[in-house]
Amino acid sequence: MEFVVYGSFNCPYSFLASLRADGLVAAGYASLDWRAVVHDPDVPAGGVAVGGELAEMFDRELGEIRALLAPDERYPARRPSVQSNTTQAVAGYAVAPNDHKPRLRSEIFSAFWVDGDDIGERALLDSLGCPAAPAGETMRRWNAEWRGMARPVVPMMVLPGGQVSRGLGALSRLAEMDRAASAGKRHGS
């Protein structure tokens, strides 16, 4: 099965979607077309220090996500110290060679959610091998596709028949797919 996920690097729900989708790909259950989007274009270029209401929001979201995890599921995210502007990360990811995208996506998410780095900083993106690129055609197309769907949120998953799962529904669908892949392995399929 091939599916598409629209996600944002500074969204903790998208990080979980990325981890779950990677597990499905690694199990040979599915192939993935991850389309990074800038879901909060109002974050300034230097980012926003995380404190007050923003810190409370991240803590609430991380708590909600941890309540969704399977007993053996790993989710190493912690509250970031800065909410990054993701434009450069998305632009670079969009032009990266397709065979580099899974590693790059994983490293950008980990840099932000695990290491607490500002993924809006060019030097960090360079160290991850994220190409320096202006907002190009692919990035604009992904954002237009995502914004053109009814009720665009992140993450959003589009299945082969065009069915769309949004937010917590997408995370639930990915967990169901993981259980099906695991059951198939146990039964030798």
pLDDT digit string, tens, across residues 18-30 = 999 999 999 898 8
The pTM assigned to this predicted structure is 0.94
Q: Say if residue 187's pLDDT is above 70.
A: no
Average predicted confidence (pLDDT) for the chain: 94
pLDDT digit string, tens, across residues 90-139 = 999 999 999 999 999 999 999 999 999 999 999 999 999 999 998 899 99
Q: Hey, which bits of the chain come out as E strands?
A: 2-7, 31-36, 48-49, 82-83, 156-158, 164-166
**SS3 track for 88-116:** HHHHHHHHCCCCCHHHHHHHHHHHHHCCC
CB of 130 closer than 8 Å to CB of 112: no
Q: Say if residue 178's pLDDT is above 60.
A: yes
Q: Say if residue 88's pLDDT is above 70.
A: yes
Domains of the chain: 2-186 (3.40.30.10)
Rounded Cα distance, 127 and 123, in Å: 6
